[in-house]
Chain A
Amino acid sequence: MKNESENPDNLMRHRRIILNDGRYMIFYTFDESLSDEAASEEKPAPRLQTEAIEEKNV
C-alpha cells in the first residue's frame, strides 16, 4: 500500500509509517532540483505537501 500522493510542483515529500510498537517514523525526501531552487535567491522556498499515513508492520 502506497499512500504518498504526488505533486510535481512540490520538491519535498514526507511519508509517515507506524512501527510495531506504535511509534511513528517520518521519511523526508527532496527532489534533486531543490538545490537549484535553494541556490536561486529569487525563488520562494518549497513547502511540504500534506502527509499521508501508511501503516506498516516493522
Chain B
Amino acid sequence: MSELRFNPLLGEWVATATQRQDRTFLPPPDFCPLCPTRKGGFPTEVPESTYDIVAFENRFPSLKKEPDAPAVEATELYPVRLSQGVCEVIIYSPNHNTTLAREPVEQIYKLILVWRHRFEELGELDFVKYVFVFENKGEAVGVTLHHPHGQIYAYPFVPPVIKKELEQSRKYREEKGVCLLCDILDAEKRFEKRIVAENQSFVAIIPFYARYPFETHILPKRHLQAFTDFSAREERDLAEILKQILSAFDALFNVSFPYIMAIHQRPSDGENYDFYHFHIEFYPPMRTAAKLKYLAGSEAGAGMFINDTLPETKAAELRTLIKPVIWKG
C-alpha cells in the first residue's frame, strides 16, 4: 500500500510505502541483488553483465508510474493523493567491490552523462514535477545494499527543501537583481578559506552555513539550472571535481567515507526558474574517525542544526587531501 498523505501542520507530503518493509537488507556479497547475474549463479535483479552503468525502476518504490489505490480516504483536513512518480536505481558499476570514489574519473564522467539523460527523460513525464538525483552511501546513512549505486526520485511535486531554496533564491533575485548562489560563490572566492577545490568550471566549498563538519557543496561558476545546461567542458570538470572531493573524503579517516549526496536542479514542471543555481550537496555524518553526527532533538525536532566544528577549519583539512586528477586519455 502506498499513498501521499498531506501534513497540514508543515504543509508537506509524506509517502507511505508499506512494501518497502520487505526490501533486501544487507545481504552477503555473494547474494547481492545489484550484481550482474553470473553464469551458474543465482538470478540477481540485473540479468546482463555487459554494461557500464544500469538504470532501472526500483523493485521497492515509494513512488510508482501506476500507483496503488490509497489505503485511506482523503478528508478536508487530511488530503491524500496517489503516490505517482518514478523511483530509479542507478548502478555505477558491475563491480561489487568499488565505490564512486574509487572509480576512475572516466566512469564518473559517464555517470554524469547518464544523470543528464535520466533528468531529461524523467522530466518529460507529465506527472513529474521534480527529478531528484541522490546517493546514500554507507551503513551510517542507512544503506541496505553495498553495491555502488545511487537513486533518482521523480516526484509529482517540488519537494520541500528545493521549494525553500527556490523561494529564497527568487526573493534574493527580486530584492538584489542577482542570483543568490552567484553572490555566495563570489563571497567564498573572495574569502578563500572555505574553498576545498576549484577548477575552470566549478568550486567546492564547505559553506559558511554548513550543518555537518564536512558538508561540502559543489557549485558551477556559470549560472546553470540543470545538467541539460552544461557545456561539454563543464561535464568534464564536474567529473574531475567530484573525483577530487570523493577521494579526499576517503582519505580523511582512511575509511570508505559515508555520505548523502543530493543534486539540486531546477524543477521539471515547465515553469521558469532562471533565478535558481544548480549545485551538489554532500552531507557526511562522520565528524571524527570514531564519532557520527546524529540528528537529535534540535535538528530533528526544531530544525536547527548544531555544527560542532568551524567550516573554515574543516575546509582547510579537506583541502590538504585534494589531489590532481589524471584522465587515461
B209 contacts the other chain (CB 8 A) = no
Q: Which residues of B lie under 8 Å from residue A21 when comparing CB positions?
A: 59
Chain A stretch 1-58: residues in CB contact (< 8 A) with chain B: 12, 14, 17, 19, 21, 23-30, 34-41, 43-46, 48, 56, 58
Q: Are B236 and A26 in contact (CB under 8 A)?
A: no
Q: Which residues of A lie under 8 Å from residue B55 when comparing CB positions?
A: 25-26, 28
Which residue on B lies nearest to A15, using beta carbons? B51
Q: Are A44 and B50 in contact (CB under 8 A)?
A: no
- Chain B 9-34, CB within 8 Å of chain A: the 1/0 string? 00000000000000000000000000
Q: Which residues of A lie under 8 Å from residue B46 when comparing CB positions?
A: 25
Q: Are B51 and A28 in contact (CB under 8 A)?
A: yes
Q: Are A38 and B236 in contact (CB under 8 A)?
A: yes
Measured CA separation A17–B37 after assembly (Å): 15
Say yes or no: A34-B47 contact (C-beta < 8 A), given A25-B55, A45-B232.
Answer: no
Q: Are A27 and B232 in contact (CB under 8 A)?
A: no
Say yes or no: A27-B235 contact (C-beta < 8 A), given A37-B329, A45-B113.
Answer: no
Measured CA separation A35–B109 after assembly (Å): 9
Q: Which residues of B lie under 8 Å from residue A41 when comparing CB positions?
A: 233, 236
Q: Which residues of B lie under 8 Å from residue A44 when comparing CB positions?
A: 232
Q: Are B52 and A29 in contact (CB under 8 A)?
A: yes
Q: Are A12 and B56 in contact (CB under 8 A)?
A: no
Measured CA separation A39–B46 after assembly (Å): 31
Measured CA separation A10–B220 after assembly (Å): 27
Which residue on B lies nearest to A43, using beta carbons? B232
Which residue on B lies nearest to A14, using beta carbons? B117
Measured CA separation A19–B54 after assembly (Å): 14
Partner of B47, one of A12, A46, A58: A58
Q: Are B113 and A25 in contact (CB under 8 A)?
A: no
Q: Are A28 and B110 in contact (CB under 8 A)?
A: yes
- Chain B 34-75, CB within 8 Å of chain A: the 1/0 string? 000000000000111011111111010000000000000000
Q: Enumerate 18 A-B pairs (CB-CB under 8 Å) in ascending A order.
A: A14-B117, A19-B56, A23-B57, A23-B59, A25-B47, A25-B56, A26-B54, A28-B114, A30-B113, A34-B106, A34-B109, A37-B329, A38-B106, A38-B109, A38-B239, A38-B329, A40-B329, A48-B113
